Copies of this chain bind each other. A is one copy, B any other.
Amino acid sequence: MKSRRNFLQKLTLSAVSLPLIPGLKSSSFPGWQKSVFQDRMLRVAIMGLGSYGTRVAEAMQDSKKAKLVGVISGTPSKISAWQEKYNIPSKNCYNYENFDAIKDNPDIDAVYIITPNALHHPQTLRVAAARKHVICEKPMALNAEQGREMVEACKNAGVQLLVGYRMHFEANTLEVIRMREAGEFGEIKFFQGLSGFKIGDPSQWRLNKELAGGGAMMDIGIYSINGARYMIGKEPIWVTAQETKTDPVKFKEGVDETILFQFGFPEGIVASCLSTYSMGNLDRFFLNGTQGFAEMQPSTGYGPIKGKTHKGPLDNPHITHQTVQMDRMAEIILEGETAKVPVDGEEGLKDLIIIDTIYKAVASGRKEPIQLG
């Protein structure tokens, strides 16, 4: 309740925030009720209608709090197909040239950016300038410098910036985090994350340094990075990393195929992780404490997250991750419920700082300090 109250106060005090509640005029504030938020849904436009965009759109059909109302795409045929499928009015359809005009569209609250990594930064700046909330897929950007600019831009525009870290809404993951916070594992000692898949089509943008910003680390290794942080519940202070490459044709200069990396955390906690584009069947987390453990496999895939702890199986029912994510992100954006949900731009930025440092450690061959502050 407290964070919501703060949000309301901010709204009242700041004219900048007014466009965020389309249809509300400042004269309507006195009679404004809690139900205004509770009764309406977050109206989302998806930018980038590729396979993950499609997955999010489908998942959003089951969301009680977020609704797909618009699209931004460079492919007219995709736009018309989506319009038909999801009943999207033409006035909510944009392309990459004209989407700045979204600022004048009172029927869109937020834009979910699901485009190649290199586009996240410029697109976020443009969405923020249009005074729409930003949901951005991970990795939030190509590097920490871009990430900082995005955080700053959204802050200055008075819009929220959230990153598509869907695991923070997944029930079994949250149960492990709850157990850790409750001390049920005792003192945490070790985390291990293995994140990888065997990548196919060599012509895809994920294998293009300019569009992806790197290789497996940007795309799948980031799950072990973010996972190390939320499973341990602390921030890493150093990293070492070792790269190997078996196919320099498929994985060109600057596109990492396989990187082993290790984190040091405060209190001697360590983590050992693997990021790879050349091994299937790798989606495993293991958390070890003095009083117990958790193991999850799959740990971050789209399907049911399975695993067990020293107390027994993790058996919360599976709900489509992206549905829960959109429900919760709608609450965060509409109701200002940001407390304790580490999916905002600052969190995305931390992972970018860590990725920068991992690449630095690969290059130096040395233990590199991680400076998140």
CB-CB under 8 A for A272 and B270, given A194-B192, A279-B190, A293-B281: no
Question: Would B258 and A270 count as touching, CB distance under 8 A?
Answer: yes
Answer whether residue A250 sits at the interface, using C-beta atoms and an 8 A cutoff: no
Answer whether residue A17 sits at the interface, using C-beta atoms and an 8 A cutoff: no
Q: Choose among B190, B194, B268, B276 the residue that contacts A245 (Cβ–Cβ < 8 A).
A: B268
Q: Which residues of B contact A267 (CB under 8 A)?
A: 246
The A231-284 residues at the B interface (CB cut-off 8 A) are 240, 242, 244-246, 257-258, 260, 262, 264, 267-268, 270, 272, 274, 276, 278-282, 284
Answer whether residue A290 sits at the interface, using C-beta atoms and an 8 A cutoff: yes
Complex Cα gap A286–B270 (Å): 19
Question: Would A272 and B290 count as touching, CB distance under 8 A?
Answer: no
Q: How many residues of A contact B (CB 8 A)?
A: 35
Answer whether residue A288 sits at the interface, using C-beta atoms and an 8 A cutoff: yes
Answer whether residue A40 sits at the interface, using C-beta atoms and an 8 A cutoff: no
Main secondary structure on chain A at its contact with chain B?
strand
Answer whether residue A189 sits at the interface, using C-beta atoms and an 8 A cutoff: yes
Question: Would A268 and B258 count as touching, CB distance under 8 A?
Answer: yes
Question: Would B274 and A274 count as touching, CB distance under 8 A?
Answer: no
Q: Which residues of B contact A274 (CB under 8 A)?
A: 190, 192, 270, 272
Question: Would A260 and B262 count as touching, CB distance under 8 A?
Answer: yes
Answer whether residue A209 sits at the interface, using C-beta atoms and an 8 A cutoff: no
Answer whether residue A22 sits at the interface, using C-beta atoms and an 8 A cutoff: no
The closest CB in chain B to the CB of A289 belongs to B279
Question: Would B270 and A246 count as touching, CB distance under 8 A?
Answer: no
Question: Would B280 and A367 count as touching, CB distance under 8 A?
Answer: no
Q: Which residues of B contact A264 (CB under 8 A)?
A: 242, 244
Question: Would A246 and B260 count as touching, CB distance under 8 A?
Answer: no
Answer whether residue A366 sits at the interface, using C-beta atoms and an 8 A cutoff: yes
Question: Would B268 and A189 count as touching, CB distance under 8 A?
Answer: no
The closest CB in chain B to the CB of A240 belongs to B242
Complex Cα gap A293–B283 (Å): 13
The closest CB in chain B to the CB of A367 belongs to B365
The closest CB in chain B to the CB of A297 belongs to B295
| 29 A-B pairs whose Cβ atoms sit less than 8 Å apart in the complex | A189-B276, A189-B279, A190-B274, A190-B282, A192-B194, A192-B274, A240-B240, A240-B242, A242-B262, A242-B264, A242-B367, A244-B264, A245-B268, A246-B268, A257-B268, A258-B268, A260-B262, A260-B270, A262-B262, A268-B278, A270-B274, A272-B272, A279-B290, A281-B288, A281-B310, A284-B286, A365-B366, A365-B367, A366-B366
Q: 4 smallest A-B Cβ distances: which pairs?
A: A246-B268, A189-B279, A244-B268, A260-B262
